[in-house]
Amino acid sequence: MTRTKLDGTTAVITGAGSGIGRATALLAAAKGARLVLTDVSADTLAETVRLVGQAGGTVMHHEALDVRHVDAVDAFAARTHEVTGPVDVVMNVAGISTWGRIQDLSTEHWRRTVDIDLMGPIHVLSAFVPPMIEARRGGHVVNVSSAAGLFGLPLHAPYSAAKFGLRGVSEVLRFDLAPYGIGVTLVVPGAVNTPLVGTVDIVGVDRDDPKVRKAVDSFARHAVTPEKAAAAIVRGVERGRYLVYTSQDIRALHLTQRYAPFVYNIIMRVMNQQARRVLKRKVAPPADR
């Protein structure tokens, strides 16, 4: 178990422009970390940098980039290392969410989700972790997966493909990096009230449909705040925890999945029935493949 205090560390955080990423950046800065921040949106990233500075924190380097592009990530890492040397903490928070029925999803839906949510973190890890190993001063890796990386949630196939993959990467690195004193924390958020709630791509579904709006509103009402999720992440890093839940409902369902699989199967069937009721309407034609 590797406990990592953030005070005095240099921490890279992706997806820092909003939601969990911004909340984690603000909390890490308050804990004394020097930050290296990135997000796909230059405007929201600049706002996070401003908020960190306003709160008395330090941003050593920041760049807007798309984590799908390995050359951009490598260049970002090279420029970061020129400023900071090897970093101490890497937090992969950036991500998107795509939901839909298999018959409505195009290859591009799958590819974009996997490229951002799985290959993006892999690009970041490949650019920043080897120098951490060479520096021989330990550190920490945080990968934000999802409840969809634990459970077979309805309509989540592309998202789960990426988040289960990130969970697998984390499970391997948990042991591979231990000899170097580098801890790994896997975060599995449930509902978090971030801008992602309003922008999730539900393929083949009219988001203005009253039933869909009602379902999305219900999701938002049960969601935790980004600040609560960030607090769970930082606490997990400081206590050396591998698996971090951001809400108790996900912890309870995970225990049910492991120790009462029959009950878990019933819950999943009920959730799928509810999803089918929401979708019981005229659905758009399948996307071109």
For residue range 99-113, what is the model confidence (pLDDT) as tens digits? 889 999 999 999 999
pTM of the entire predicted model: 0.91
Percent of the chain scoring above 70 in pLDDT: 87
List 159, 180, 245, 264, catalytic entry = 159
Percent of the chain scoring above 90 in pLDDT: 81
- Mean pLDDT, the chain, whole residue set: 91
264 is catalytic: no
Domain 10-248 sits in which CATH superfamily? Answer: NAD(P)-binding Rossmann-like Domain (3.40.50.720)
Question: Does residue 134 contact residue 79 with C-beta atoms inside 8 Å?
Answer: no
The whole-angstrom separation of Cα 256 and Cα 228 is 24
The neighbouring-strand residues paired with 129 are none
**What is the pLDDT averaged over residues 70-89?**
98
Sequence-separated contacts (24+) of 274-278 with Cβ below 8 Å: 274/154, 275/154, 275/155, 276/154, 277/211, 278/211, 278/212, 278/215
Query: Any residues with CB less than 8 A from the CB of 280 and at least 6 apart, and which?
Result: none
At position 136, the amino acid (one-letter code) is: R
Lowest mean pLDDT among 5-9, 176-180, 198-202, 250-254: 198-202
Question: Does residue 66 contact residue 40 with C-beta atoms inside 8 Å?
Answer: yes
Residue 225 has pLDDT above 80, yes or no: yes
Question: Does residue 106 contact residue 289 with C-beta atoms inside 8 Å?
Answer: yes
Residue 235 has pLDDT above 90, yes or no: yes
DSSP-derived letter for residue 17 is T
What pLDDT score was predicted for residue 127? 98
For the segment 20-52, what is each residue's pLDDT rounded down to a tens digit?
999 999 999 999 999 999 999 999 999 999 999
